Amino acid sequence: MRIVSNGVQPYIVQTGVDTDGETQEEVTTFRMKLDVSERCVRQNFLHSEAQSSIIITPCLADIQKNKKEKKRYLERSEGSLEFNSTSCKELRQEITDVKVLTMVKTSELFERWRNLQVCKWEQNKEETDNFKMSLSRCCNAPSFLFTTKRNTPSGTKLRYEVDTSGLLHISPEIFKMFPDDMPYSKSQFKKCAVIGNGGIIKNSKCGREIDATDFVFRCNIPPISDMYSKDVGSKTDLVTINPSIITERFQKLEKWRKPFYDVLQNYENSSLVLPAFYNTRNTDVSFRVKYMLDDFESPRGVFFFHPQYLMNVQRFWAVQGVRAKRLSSGLMLVTAAMELCEEVHLYGFWAFPMNPSGIFITHHYYDNVKPRPGFHAMPYEIFNFMHMHARGIVHVHTGPCR
């Protein structure tokens, strides 16, 4: 008889020759008393050498005890364990072990995510640098995030992101709207916050924490009035505008422009970025934003995503399992932030009707209007963010801030 450990529980192996020399298919179970506690014992007759083995495995009581041990993590206060402690490494592994979203039920994924919240997040420099290097090779935001005079000279035939058969001739008038070069450089900002519009951020009281970061990205001119700022903050350095918002809410700026200008005043002197070259329909309405701000003599920067950059980003995330007609504006900004910032924090990113505790939440923090089905792949985007959080690449905030 010998005692063996499988890394979880010790067990005893006892071997002996089977008396009748025939292969046995029968498996029997019985109980054995040990000094420490009762265990379940399984007796197997090995097929190859006709030997019997007694293997001690945990009983139901032990399994329940192990479950209680896991539950204990939830009873600890959030962020009470070090990210690289043994317990936290196990909890992080539970997230990264889920290779595809469909491997586990949503409730199981939520439980693993809740357990991980007891770990104080810490950036893994090696993992982060490797991820940034991959992005640099494929996408290179510091050079190609926006169309500039440097990367898109006058006379260029610019290919649209979606209408790839269509080409836009960059005339001197269009060229004049581009900045000379990219306004941001590699890892220019130490700590950045990318703010999604998900209902998960409601009642989080994260506003002060967000406003304390060095650079804040926002998506699609969301409301940041006093009613919301305690949760989402008010500081904004770069905000995206989907041309469909201008079309639906501001009549393509073909008539009155002051209402749109007044909305932008909420974002102080933040820069704007639009996907002017996503398709041919987006171009004119995006250009009107630039013309309007010039008319009002606004110092606000207006930039246009480079279509090749967005195509490269789409390909990059497709390899990670995010396959959709269109990536969300949030994922585009997170991708850019990874190259422009040393450390990236995400707030308001969630893709499920319930928060990690199973409580129903609104789709946005300001309304419950659902997106067009089948356009984005939000659950897969959030699933990737969870993995990146567990690996120490980005910090995903889904709970209240202190």
376 carries an active-site annotation = yes
What does each of the 402 residues of the chain score in pLDDT, given as a tens digit?
444 444 444 433 333 433 333 333 333 333 333 333 333 333 333 333 333 333 333 444 443 444 444 444 444 556 689 999 999 999 999 999 999 998 999 999 999 999 999 999 999 999 999 999 999 999 999 999 999 999 999 999 999 999 877 899 999 999 999 999 999 999 999 999 999 999 999 999 999 999 999 999 999 999 999 999 999 999 999 999 999 999 999 999 998 899 999 999 999 989 999 999 999 999 999 999 999 999 999 999 999 999 999 999 999 999 999 988 889 999 999 999 999 999 999 999 999 999 999 999 999 999 999 887 777 889 999 999 999 999 999 999 999 998
CA distance 87 to 378: 30
Q: What are the structure tokens assigned to 197, written together?
A: 């519009």
Question: In this structure, are strands 215-218 and 395-397 parallel, antiparallel, or unpaired?
Answer: unpaired
In the set 376, 389, 395, 397, the catalytic residue is 376
Q: Where are the domains of the chain?
A: 2-58, 61-120, 125-397
What are residue 160's phi and psi, to 5 degrees?
-70, 155
CA distance 84 to 251: 53
For residue 78, the model assigns a pLDDT of 67
Q: What is the pTM of this model?
A: 0.81
Q: What b/e string do you get for 193-215 counting C-beta neighbours within 10 Å, with b at 16 or more?
A: bbbbbbbbbbebebbebbeebeb
For residue 62, the model assigns a pLDDT of 42
Contact yes or no for 275/310 (Cβ under 8 A): yes
Q: What are the structure tokens assigned to 31, written together?
A: 């109980």
Residue 152: CA atoms inside 13 Å, Cβ hemisphere, count? 27
For residue 372, the model assigns a pLDDT of 77
Cβ of 226: how many Cβ atoms within 10 Å?
7
CATH of 125-397, one of 3.90.1480.20, 3.20.20.140, 2.60.120.260, 3.20.20.70: 3.90.1480.20
For residue 8, the model assigns a pLDDT of 40
CA distance 342 to 171: 37
Block residue for tokens 């893994």? 124
Cβ of 369: how many Cβ atoms within 10 Å?
8
Contact yes or no for 51/87 (Cβ under 8 A): no
For residue 76, the model assigns a pLDDT of 53
